[in-house]
C-alpha cells in the first residue's frame, strides 16, 4: 500500500473521502456507448466495426435511473456533472435529461462533451434546457487530417457550424478539446489556434493517452504539453493562469496580447492523480473510480432490483472510501502488467 494511503473510517452522513483523502467532486456520465465517429485513438474501426456489439437500449440506464444516481452522487459530494459518451448527442431527447439534472440543487455545473457533428441541430434545445457551457472536440481544421483522426466520418465544416450554433445559442464558455498526435496533427495546431484566438473559444490540448486496450497506444506519438507550449509561445507568447479549482485537469494559460485563454491536459507527462476527484458511470450503469480502471461496480443491478437511495448511497460511499487509483502516476510500472484489461473510453466517457 502506498504510504500516503489511509483507510478513512466511514462517518455516517459525511461525504466520503478516498484513501488519498480525495472527495468526489465531478461525475462523468456516459449516456451513449455508440459514436458517429471512429477516432483511431478512441474507437478504432477495426474493433468498432459494423458487427460490433454495442449495448441494447434496454441495457443502457434510462433517464430516470441516471437522474436517481445523480441525486445519490450529489449527496456523496458531487458538485459538477459532465455528460459524455461515446457521442452523447446520439442519445434521443438528451435535452430532457439536462433539464432534469439542472434541477438538482447541489450541482453547480453541468457540462457536455461532444464531437460537434450534431451540435448545429441541438445547440438551441440544449441551451433552453439549462445547459450553460459546452466542450467540442476538434483535432484539426485540415480536412484530410480531420478525416484521418475521425476515422473517415464527419467533417470540419459541420463541426465549425456546430460551434457557431453553440455560440449563437449563448452556450459559454465554449471549449475545444484537441488530442495531439506526433506526425498526425501536431503540424496543424497553430492554424487551429489562429482560428480561435480572440473569439472567446478556449482551446485545450490533450496529450494522447493510453485509454482502453484497443487504441494501439504508442508513446512515441505523445507530444508532451511542454513541447507544444514552447512552440505556441514562440509564435504568440503565453502566460500561466491560476487553476480554477483543486483537481482541475487543464493547466490554464493566456495569450500575453489579451487574445484569450488556452489549456493543456497532460495526463501522460504530468500525471495529476493526486487531486483527481472524478467518478464515472458507464452507459450501462457501472461505477468507475478511474478513467484507466480495469473494472467497475454495477449500480444498474441494485437500481433495477429496487435498492433504496440509502442503499445506493452506502454502496457508492463504500467504493469511494476504498478508492486507491492513481494509474497515471504508476503508468510506467503498470503498463507491463499483462492482466491489465482497461475499460474502453467510449464506454465510460472521456
Ligand X SMILES: C[S@@+](CC[C@H](N)C(=O)[O-])C[C@H]1O[C@@H](n2cnc3c(N)ncnc32)[C@H](O)[C@@H]1O
Binding site for ligand X (CB under 6 A): 35, 41-42, 84-85, 87, 113-115, 137, 177, 179, 206, 208-209, 211, 215, 345-346, 349-350
101-120 binders of ligand SF4 (CB under 6 A): 115
Any contact of residue 86 with ligand SF4 (CB under 6 A)? yes
Picked from ligand X, ligand SF4, none, the partner binding residue 277 (CB below 5 to 8 A depending on kind) is none
Peptide bond into 99 cis (omega under 30): no
Identify whether the C-beta of residue 237 lies closer than 8 Å to the C-beta of residue 252: no
Q: Is 150 exposed, middle or buried (0-12, 13-18, 19+ CB in 10 A)?
A: buried
Give the position of cell 500561466. 240
For ligand SF4, give the closer residue by CB, 42 or 202.
Answer: 42
Minimum distance from residue 209 beta carbon to ligand SF4 (Å) = 11
For ligand SF4, give the closer residue by CB, 85 or 296.
Answer: 85
Any contact of residue 42 with ligand SF4 (CB under 6 A)? yes
Minimum distance from residue 278 beta carbon to ligand X (Å) = 13
At residue 266, the 3 state secondary structure works out as coil
Burial 9-25 (b: 16+ CB within 10 A, else e): eeeeeebbbbbbebbbb
Of 17, 27, 31, 35, which one interacts with ligand SF4 (CB under 6 A)?
35
Minimum distance from residue 252 beta carbon to ligand SF4 (Å) = 23
Minimum distance from residue 306 beta carbon to ligand X (Å) = 32
Picked from ligand SF4, ligand X, none, the partner binding residue 266 (CB below 5 to 8 A depending on kind) is none
For ligand X, give the closer residue by CB, 72 or 90.
Answer: 90
Any contact of residue 88 with ligand SF4 (CB under 6 A)? no
For residues 155 and 150, what is the distance between their CA atoms, to the nearest angstrom? Answer: 9
State the pairing for strand pair 109-114/278-281.
unpaired
DSSP string, 13-77: TSPPB-TT--B--EEEEE--S--S---TTTS-TTTS-TT--PPPTTTS--HHHHHHHHHHHHHTT
Identify whether the C-beta of residue 110 lies closer than 8 Å to the C-beta of residue 132: yes
Give the contact letters, 155-184, x = binds to ligand SF4 (CB under 6 A), - = no.
------------------------------
Count of other CB atoms within 10 angstroms of residue 330? 15
For residues 120 and 315, what is the distance between their CA atoms, to the nearest angstrom? Answer: 40
Give the position of cell 461525504. 15
HSE value, Cβ hemisphere, 13 Å, CA-based, for 113: 22
Grid coordinates representing 193 are 489556434
Minimum distance from residue 80 beta carbon to ligand SF4 (Å) = 20
Picked from ligand X, ligand SF4, none, the partner binding residue 43 (CB below 5 to 8 A depending on kind) is ligand SF4
Minimum distance from residue 146 beta carbon to ligand X (Å) = 12
Any contact of residue 281 with ligand SF4 (CB under 6 A)? no
For ligand X, give the closer residue by CB, 77 or 85.
Answer: 85
Of 26, 74, 87, 325, which one interacts with ligand SF4 (CB under 6 A)?
87
Picked from ligand SF4, ligand X, none, the partner binding residue 209 (CB below 5 to 8 A depending on kind) is ligand X
State the pairing for strand pair 278-281/26-30.
parallel
Of 24, 39, 299, 316, which one interacts with ligand SF4 (CB under 6 A)?
39
For ligand SF4, give the closer residue by CB, 43 or 316.
Answer: 43
Any contact of residue 33 with ligand SF4 (CB under 6 A)? no
Any contact of residue 267 with ligand SF4 (CB under 6 A)? no
List of residues 6+ apart from 51 with CB closer than 8 A: none
For residues 45 and 131, what is the distance between their CA atoms, to the nearest angstrom? Answer: 32
Which residues are at the interface with ligand SF4 (CB under 6 A)? 35, 37-39, 42-43, 85-87, 115, 137, 346
Amino acid at each position: 500500500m502506498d504510504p500516503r494511503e489511509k483507510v478513512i473510517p466511514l462517518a455516517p452522513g459525511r461525504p466520503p473521502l478516498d484513501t488519498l483523502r480525495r472527495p468526489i467532486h465531478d461525475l462523468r456520465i456516459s449516456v451513449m456507448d455508440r459514436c458517429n465517429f471512429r477516432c483511431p485513438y478512441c474507437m478504432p474501426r477495426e474493433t468498432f466495426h459494423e458487427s460490433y456489439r454495442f449495448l441494447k437500449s434496454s441495457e443502457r440506464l434510462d433517464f430516470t435511473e441516471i437522474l436517481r444516481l445523480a441525486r445519490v452522487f450529489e449527496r456523496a459530494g458531487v458538485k459538477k456533472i459532465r455528460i459524455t459518451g461515446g457521442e452523447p448527442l446520439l442519445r434521443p431527447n438528451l435535452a430532457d435529461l439536462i433539464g432534469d439534472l439542472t434541477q438538482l440543487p447541489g450541482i453547480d455545473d453541468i457540462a457536455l462533451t461532444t464531437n460537434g457533428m450534431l451540435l448545429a441541430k441541438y445547440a438551441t434545445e440544449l441551451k433552453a434546457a439549462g445547459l450553460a457551457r459546452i466542450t467540442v472536440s476538434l483535432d484539426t481544421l485540415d480536412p484530410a487530417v480531420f478525416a484521418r483522426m475521425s476515422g473517415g466520418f464527419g467533417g470540419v465544416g459541420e463541426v465549425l457550424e456546430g460551434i457557431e450554433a453553440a455560440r449563437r445559442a449563448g452556450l459559454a464558455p465554449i471549449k475545444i478539446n484537441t488530442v495531439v498526435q506526433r506526425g498526425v496533427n501536431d503540424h496543424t495546431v497553430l492554424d487551429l489556434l489562429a482560428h480561435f484566438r480572440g473569439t472567446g473559444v478556449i482551446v485545450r490540448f490533450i496529450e494522447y493517452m493510453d485509454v482502453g486496450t484497443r487504441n494501439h497506444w504508442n508513446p512515441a506519438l505523445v507530444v508532451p504539453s511542454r513541447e507544444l507550449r514552447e512552440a505556441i509561445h514562440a509564435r504568440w507568447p503565453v502566460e500561466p493562469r491560476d487553476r480554477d479549482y483543486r483537481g482541475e485537469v487543464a493547466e490554464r494559460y493566456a495569450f500575453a496580447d489579451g487574445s484569450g485563454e488556452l489549456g493543456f491536459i497532460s495526463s501522460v507527462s504530468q500525471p495529476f492523480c493526486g487531486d483527481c476527484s472524478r467518478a464515472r458511470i458507464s452507459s450501462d450503469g457501472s461505477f468507475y473510480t478511474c478513467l484507466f480502471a480495469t473494472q467497475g461496480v454495477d449500480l444498474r443491478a441494485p437500481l433495477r432490483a429496487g435498492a433504496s437511495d440509502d442503499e445506493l448511497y452506502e454502496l457508492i460511499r463504500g467504493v469511494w472510501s476504498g478508492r486507491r487509483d492513481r494509474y497515471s502516476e504508476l503508468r510506467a510500472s503498470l503498463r507491463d502488467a499483462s492482466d491489465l484489461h482497461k475499460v474502453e473510453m467510449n464506454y465510460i466517457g472521456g
